[in-house]
Amino acid sequence: MDKIKGYIDHLIFRNSDNGYTVMVVNHEGEELTCVGTFPVITEGELIEATGHYTEHAVYGTQFQIQKLEIKDPEDTAAIERYLGSGVIKGIGIALAARIVRKFKEDTFRIMEEEPERLAEVKGISEKKAREISEQVSEKRDMRKAMIFLQQYGISNTLGAKIYKQYGARLYAVIQDNPYQMADDINGVGFQIADEIASKVGIHTDSDFRVRSGILHVLTRIALEGHVYLPKMELLARTVELLGVSQELVEKHIMDLAVERRLILKEQEGQICVYGINAYYTELNTAKMLHDLNISCKIDEKKISRRMDKLGKHSGYELDELQKEAVVTAAGHGLLVLTGGPGTGKTTTINAMIDYFDSEGLEVRLAAPTGRAAKRMQEATGCEAQTIHRMLEISGAADEEEGPKQFERNEENPLEADVIIVDEMSMVDIYLMHALLKAVTVGTRLILVGDRDQLPSVGPGSVLKDIIESECFPVVCLTHIFRQEGGSDIVLNAHKINKGEHIVMDNKSRDFFFLKREDANVIISVALTLIQKKLPSYVDADPYDIQVLTPMRKGLLGVERLNTIFQQYLNPPSPEKNEKDTGRCKLREGDKVMQTRNNYQMEWEVRGKYGIPVDKGCGVFNGDMGIIREINTYAEMVTVEFDECRFAEYSFKELEELELAYALTVHKAQGSEYPAVILPLLNGPRMLMNRNLLYTAVTRARSCVTIVGSPYAVNQMIDNKYEQIRYTSLRQRICEFVL
């Protein structure tokens, strides 16, 4: 091991998340580039480090630090250099020189023990002297805290949040009740708190642990789409998580309910347990829906005649149900328009836009995802946005704070007379709540979607619950227009939805079945389709052809398929940088998907020569893109998403990305692809069902190819099983009617 000693001249790069730093150290009178990971580091500090010299292919000789110790400055020159580096706000080079000239080697002791004496220096008032002293103490305390937190595996970014929240109290919090951090600080969940608690010796049946475990379970159920849990299921899950008695968990459920941190509600013969936020989100959503549901007097015949005239001018003809939808939208504040593929939902939306435009009303269009919004815009010729963008995400947003992350709300509502939202089956309860908060009473809200699609990735079954409440106007389109144009995708989708077996004789132009019974053969066929057959057939890039599968695990699961497809569609090359994330290997040129909502992620649209022409915040669960650059030196990955949006991820944020050559059907909701390939053999009954196959088939615009077993396809069609979602928006809506 080599050892160096010197002061930090300047920082070249620092990743604030993981502490990775590239800096120049003045060592024995020469500048030396040093790299390493440190909790807190500042220019001007004197360090003593051990490590070894390395030779970087691009940046030359570097010193790789393995152990670093911050030393107090040893002489007046070092003290002056440290203070003059800008580390203390308000002290520049000249003032640092005056302070050191006055107090010499005693400078730091004066700052900490007799800060009032700093006022003896010209240019420093008593107030400024106190501020300087506080900063010196703060920096020393923070370094001590970060080193303390690091032993528990807490990152620098999270450590800074903890220190900001508690200050010197953090030591007591961690020793007495680390679970408090899960309540107070975003980013410290139950698992982190529990690991810390085990290290400090807190008992497994601690009251703090049981309460935090209950709340953790009720938070995690959102990932399964639930809004609440039946009490008996909550008890079982919490007992399994904590390894404590059911009686102890039940006692704390009741205590939390008394404290109004949980809501217990009896419905349909059982006690249901809600987190406080989830319960009131559903309740307020129901109330706002009722508030919007106002009607006005209209001349239906006059509107129908006008629609005939507008239709002739625009080139469409409406059937009776489509006319009914336009008339209902004109006369009501809230309308649900539903129907399967090819039933004319888009034509009806266009007719509504034409009618409201003719009335001089402002119409805004939105959809849950960027791809869905793009499709809506292409189909209507009018601007369409994601719901998130329409609601104007705040860059300082926080995913766990629900609707607070949006600039548009009840105090700053959307300015529109009519709002039409497509792909409503994808909208979860929290996004719906945020949308309704921004819609004023008197604005017409039209919700469009297919109730038979898979439910939203997030919690709730909003569209289904609204329809089943039977409290609002609903128009269900049934006539299949696209079938008349010869689309077997539409025909087979409706057959699947009705539980009818489909014809797999390959006489179709857009729906094919290739019988294969071996998983590896199926993968080989899929690769041939992507690379050679389908791109020219549907006039698309191979990356636009999407493989969809029911499962994540298994021989035909997403994880295995992506590893294999990456090897063939984007093979390794000396010219492509890579990064192993632990879950998968990412490579420049890879097709990737964002796996969680990140409201703070900044993006920019780049024009000619890479010059930014637009920017914003927010990359969302389901957004797909291509990795354009992996910068191993700066530890950053650049991804280009739809609409030329470029976002930069630190290496620590790569857990939000996964390969997307193959997707689960659930992740493909709201998207449409030129061609879809479905590899189907066997799998869990809960996944291999009719609802999933129907959703998968309807993701294709021009071509569906099923590769696999006809038995598996027919089994899916016969299997009506749908996973239970614990939601109660329907009940909350009906309560307002009674």
Q: Which residues are annotated as a binding site for ATP?
A: 342-346
Rounded Cα distance, 331 and 327, in Å: 6
Give the amino acid at 82.
Y
Give the amino acid at 365.
L
Which strands sit side by side in the sheet containing 546-549, from one edge to the other? 511-515, 700-708, 673-680, 546-549, 662-664
Name the H helices within 583-657: none
Strands 46-56 and 228-230: unpaired
Closest CA to 343 of 219, 479, 189, 461: 479
Question: Cα-Cα-Cα-Cα dihedral of 482, 483, 488, 492, to 10°?
Answer: 110
Strands 700-708 and 673-680: parallel
Annotated binding site: 342-346
Q: What's the token pair of residue 161?
A: 């949040």
Rounded Cα distance, 67 and 224, in Å: 44
Buried b (16+ CB within 10 A) or exposed e, 226-248: bbbbbbebbbebbbebbebeeee
Closest CA to 281 of 444, 459, 471, 405: 459
Whether 181 contacts 173, CB under 8 Å: yes
Residue 114, classed as helix, strand or coil, is: coil
Buried b (16+ CB within 10 A) or exposed e, 9-38: beeeeebeebbbbbbbbbbeeeebebbbeb
HSE-up of 125 (CA within 13 Å, CB side)? 4
DSSP state of 500: P
Q: What's the token pair of residue 73?
A: 């400055």
Strands 598-606 and 334-339: unpaired
Name the H helices within 62-125: 76-83, 93-103, 107-113
Q: Which residues are within 8 A (CB) of 495 and not within 5 positions of it... i.e. 6 or more apart?
A: 501, 502
Name the H helices within 267-367: 276-292, 300-314, 320-331, 345-358
Strands 334-339 and 444-449: parallel
Place of tokens 């119409």: 363
Rounded Cα distance, 277 and 285, in Å: 12
DSSP state of 612: E
Rounded Cα distance, 308 and 221, in Å: 49
Phi-psi region of 29 (alpha: psi -120 to 50; beta: other; left: phi over 0): left
What Rg do the C-alpha atoms of the chain give, in angstroms? 30
Q: What's the token pair of residue 395?
A: 């860059």
Q: What's the token pair of residue 434?
A: 């945020």
Rounded Cα distance, 738 and 733, in Å: 9
Strands 578-580 and 585-587: antiparallel
Whether 691 contacts 451, CB under 8 Å: no
As a whole number of angstroms, the longest Cα–Cα distance in the chain is 95
Q: What's the token pair of residue 82?
A: 């440290």
